[in-house]
A and B are shown apart, each in its own frame.
Chain A
Amino acid sequence: MRNVQSEVKVMRDALIERLFDKMQENEKIFLISADFGAPALDKLRENFKDRFINVGIAEQNLVNISAGLALEGFIVYAYAIAPFITMRAYEQIRVNLSLLSHTREINVNLIGVGGGLSYDVAGPTHHCIEDISIMRVLPNLMVCSPSDWALTEKFVDFSINVNKPKYIRLDGKQLPRIYHDPEEFNIENGFHELVQGKDVCLVSTGYMTHKALHVANKLRENNINIGVIDVFLLKPFNEDLIYNLLEKYEHIITLEEAFINKGGLDSMISCVLSNKASHIKLKRLGFGDKYVFDIGSRDYFHKLNNIDEEYIIKVIENASNNISRRTWNKSKRTYKKRNSKAYASR
């Protein structure tokens, strides 16, 4: 396995650097910010004075200006802090992106920096655990949630060519690279099986995919092989395609830094299983119906809300035990049946 630690990066820097290159070759690209920056942004705004605009702390106008530019054929990246771009400007997104793109092609990419609990100690206004649910509701809007910076770069290339409004949820922290060859799969499939496993599979998105991989590696040392599926396109998604993959597992555990039971990744997977009348067991891990007011690190929040590694492992072990018990019961039933048949034939 490669040494991934040497390849850490913040997703927003990867996005801006990639955009910088793309803006050099494509004069149609604009980057509009609601007074939100990044070290990597300084070079961009210096070089593209005509195509970088700061609308001020005004997310509603950020979306409206972006929609107007996109109506005229420009490719727009609207850049702001995740909870503010999605929730302050929700009706602008609904009316001027989701509804408007019913009849007009508009390429607006809402870049939300700080999905989940990236802004850990900044407190609950800066946490963003609603966005996946509320953005998935809107027709015509794509919802992207890359788990590392390499995939983020790939989403830049993808988004330039897809004339639709999109929400791209980025984590705010420096994270190691997961994908070393993102060219090897089709991003439009929406997910990738990072680890092939048996019986139990973790299905995660964004930052939590790093946790899922960590858990899978830990368990492998004890000869427990669980699967890990990273979902990076939450809308649209191909139900058949993902079910083909889920089908080989007996127990699915969804993992996200978002509310559960309210339309997030968990609900998406639950719908797939229900539509397919599947008997696969589903356990949802994420945030319950309350906000996080505690002060501390991300790991601390995870512990308080039962999505920390220790708890995930416990859930997996429970699932594994249930599976072995079921398998044992099943074999017992088969044994009885066989015996009774044998008896009858006598």
Chain B
Amino acid sequence: MNLTDLLKNKSLWVKQETLKLHKRAPGTRIASSLSCIEILVVLYYGKILSCDPKNIQWDTRDRFIVSKAHGSVSLYPILADFGFFEKEELKKISKEGAILGDIPDNSIPGFETINGSLGHGLGVACGVALALKRKNLNAKVFVLSGDGELYEGSVWEAIMFASHHKLDNLTLIIDNNKICMLDYCKNILNLEPLDDKFRSFGWMTKIVDGHDIEQLYHALADLKKDESNQPKVLIADTIKGKGVPRLENDSLCHIKALKEDEIDKIIMELT
């Protein structure tokens, strides 16, 4: 099987597993967790991230900071598949005594930081990226953030810091699903043109279709190799609630939960 097919198969599997997790834990943010599945699959199964579940704190691992923690329940099946924790844990999600909750935190093996509150990931990642440079380690730092959290002022403090300190070992991936909790971002405070904003702050920018495995893979592989003295941002255009017709492009999909029998039907119809 070639890499593209493998990544497509894995994406389908992660989608199914994420929906099953939502069935067990209806409080999970399903729409946000569906928009970043291909990004997560390419990072892990495409081996963009170097990680070792047997040695989680391995010094030269790539650091992956999930700033949009609420929308990363889809990372649970991947981490379980890689062996960061037992697959049985997926069945216990949000039950008493479980390690997995509705929103991931740093007590779960595989999560570097705690990010239930938005707008923190990039700043901490800048500190980590600077530290890696001072330690002369070749490891890279990847951050996954939503577009809505760019409203937090602290993110822009970090954006300025990253370019001033030439953190070219840092890549920010924006899951640009264009919807916040109550509405489309363009109706709240328009964030576009995002790439121009980043470019004017001294960042290297790239835009891809965030559901296109091949585009994502090539962009991330290129960005990881690049040493142009600039931090990089990959703006991945995505659809919030991808794969579930009644969520896709519903401006209120962030807060919508799916019903149990509905989930079984959606899983059967996934392609």
How distant is the Cα of A104 from the Cα of B63 in the complex, in angstroms?
14
From known contacts A65-B123, A104-B106, infer whether A96 and B113 are also in contact, taking CB-CB under 8 Å: yes
- Smallest Cβ distance from A88 to chain B, in angstroms? 10
How distant is the Cα of A56 from the Cα of B116 in the complex, in angstroms?
26
Whether the pair A95, B128 counts as a contact (CB closer than 8 A) is no
Chain A hits for B120, CB < 8 A: 64, 92, 95-96
Whether the pair A72, B135 counts as a contact (CB closer than 8 A) is yes
Q: Is B249 an interface residue (CB 8 A)?
A: no
Binary contact track A45-69/B, C-beta < 8 Å → 1, others 0: 0000011010110101101111111
How distant is the Cα of A55 from the Cα of B157 in the complex, in angstroms?
8
How distant is the Cα of A52 from the Cα of B20 in the complex, in angstroms?
49
Candidates B114, B131, B135, B161; contact of A99 at CB < 8 Å? B114
Interface residues of A (CB under 8 A from B): 50-51, 53, 55-56, 58, 60-61, 63-74, 91-92, 95-96, 99-100, 102-104
Binary contact track B5-16/A, C-beta < 8 Å → 1, others 0: 000000000000
Q: Which residues 137-167 of B have a CB within 8 angstroms of A?
A: 153-154, 157-158, 160-161, 165
How distant is the Cα of A61 from the Cα of B107 in the complex, in angstroms?
23
Q: Which residues 92-119 of B have a CB within 8 angstroms of A?
A: 105-107, 112-117
Most buried by A among B117, B123, B158: B123
Chain A hits for B134, CB < 8 A: 50-51, 74
Whether the pair A56, B160 counts as a contact (CB closer than 8 A) is yes
Whether the pair B157, A71 counts as a contact (CB closer than 8 A) is no
Whether the pair A64, B158 counts as a contact (CB closer than 8 A) is yes
How distant is the Cα of A245 from the Cα of B230 in the complex, in angstroms?
59
How distant is the Cα of A289 from the Cα of B83 in the complex, in angstroms?
54
Whether the pair B154, A60 counts as a contact (CB closer than 8 A) is yes
| Main DSSP-derived SS at the A contact region | helix
From known contacts A64-B154, A65-B126, A71-B112, infer whether A55 and B161 are also in contact, taking CB-CB under 8 Å: yes
Whether the pair B131, A74 counts as a contact (CB closer than 8 A) is yes
Whether the pair B106, A68 counts as a contact (CB closer than 8 A) is no
Whether the pair B107, A71 counts as a contact (CB closer than 8 A) is no
How distant is the Cα of A69 from the Cα of B130 in the complex, in angstroms?
7
From known contacts A72-B128, A74-B131, infer whether A102 and B106 are also in contact, taking CB-CB under 8 Å: yes
Q: Is B53 an interface residue (CB 8 A)?
A: no
Chain B hits for A70, CB < 8 A: 127
Chain A hits for B135, CB < 8 A: 72
Interface residues on B, range: 20 to 34
Whether the pair A56, B131 counts as a contact (CB closer than 8 A) is no
Candidates A50, A58, A69, A95; contact of B114 at CB < 8 Å? A95
Interface residues of B (CB under 8 A from A): 105-107, 112-117, 120, 122-132, 134-135, 153-154, 157-158, 160-161, 165
Whether the pair A61, B161 counts as a contact (CB closer than 8 A) is yes
Whether the pair B124, A71 counts as a contact (CB closer than 8 A) is yes
Whether the pair A68, B124 counts as a contact (CB closer than 8 A) is yes
Which residue of B is nearest A58, CB measured?
B157
Whether the pair A69, B131 counts as a contact (CB closer than 8 A) is yes
From known contacts A61-B154, A99-B106, A100-B106, infer whether A68 and B130 are also in contact, taking CB-CB under 8 Å: yes
Which residue of B is nearest A65, CB measured?
B127
Whether the pair A92, B127 counts as a contact (CB closer than 8 A) is no
From known contacts A60-B123, A103-B107, infer whether A68 and B131 are also in contact, taking CB-CB under 8 Å: yes
Which residue of B is nearest A27, CB measured?
B134
Whether the pair A95, B127 counts as a contact (CB closer than 8 A) is no
* Closest 7 A/B residue pairs (Cβ): A68-B127, A64-B123, A72-B131, A61-B157, A60-B154, A65-B127, A68-B128
> Can you offer 23 A-B residue contacts whose CB atoms are under 8 A?
A50-B134, A51-B134, A58-B157, A60-B157, A61-B126, A61-B161, A64-B120, A64-B126, A65-B126, A65-B127, A65-B130, A65-B161, A66-B127, A68-B127, A68-B129, A68-B130, A68-B131, A71-B112, A71-B124, A99-B114, A100-B114, A102-B106, A103-B106
Whether the pair B125, A68 counts as a contact (CB closer than 8 A) is yes
How distant is the Cα of A323 from the Cα of B127 in the complex, in angstroms?
57
- Smallest Cβ distance from B271 to chain A, in angstroms? 39
- Smallest Cβ distance from B154 to chain A, in angstroms? 4
How distant is the Cα of A73 from the Cα of B120 in the complex, in angstroms?
19
- Smallest Cβ distance from B10 to chain A, in angstroms? 28
How distant is the Cα of A73 from the Cα of B157 in the complex, in angstroms?
23
Whether the pair B127, A67 counts as a contact (CB closer than 8 A) is yes
- Smallest Cβ distance from B115 to chain A, in angstroms? 8
Candidates A53, A72, A100; contact of B113 at CB < 8 Å? A100
Whether the pair A95, B126 counts as a contact (CB closer than 8 A) is no
Most buried by B among A55, A64, A102: A64
Chain B hits for A58, CB < 8 A: 154, 157, 160-161
